[in-house]
């Protein structure tokens, strides 16, 4: 479902992406030169390994519990929690249980 499809059809973001056993599922809602908005569904135990992004980003927990590690500091996110991912700082994401998140990345 694209951004245009949900423009006149409000619904919970967490319902727009489904869990898949032992996988990470992603769904891009918006992709522009200025940034991206992407939904993720992590199966329990799945993770994005540590990496660095040249852009600022924000993660918002939509379902379950996840851990976002920034510069080695572990931060637990529960439903409704948000955390910023500063430019060029090492970070990783791990599902402590099935976990859905919204990633907002700003390029400009």
Length of the chain: 108
By the 8 A CB rule, do 91 and 83 touch? no
Q: What is the CATH number of the domain that holds 47?
A: 2.60.120.10
Q: Which of 41, 9, 44 is nearest to 26 (CA)?
A: 41
Measured CA to CA, the distance from residue 76 to residue 104 in angstroms comes to 18
Measured CA to CA, the distance from residue 63 to residue 86 in angstroms comes to 23
pLDDT in 10s for each residue of the chain, 108 residues:
566 667 777 888 999 999 999 999 999 999 999 999 999 999 999 999 999 999 999 999 999 999 999 999 999 999 999 999 999 999 999 999 999 999 999 997
> Residue 81's domain spans which residues?
3-106
DSSP-derived letter for residue 4 is H
Count of structural domains within the chain? 1
């Amino acid at each position: 479902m694209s951004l245009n499809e949900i423009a006149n059809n409000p619904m919970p973001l967490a319902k727009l992406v489904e869990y898949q056993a032992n996988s990470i599922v992603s769904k891009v809602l918006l992709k522009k030169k200025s940034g991206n908005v992407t939904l993720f569904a992590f199966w329990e135990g799945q993770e994005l390994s540590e990496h660095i992004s040249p852009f600022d980003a924000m993660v918002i927990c939509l379902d379950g519990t996840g851990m976002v590690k920034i510069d080695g500091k572990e931060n637990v996110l529960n439903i409704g929690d948000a955390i910023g991912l500063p430019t060029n700082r090492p970070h990783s994401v791990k599902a402590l249980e099935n976990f859905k998140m919204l990633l907002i990345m700003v390029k400009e």
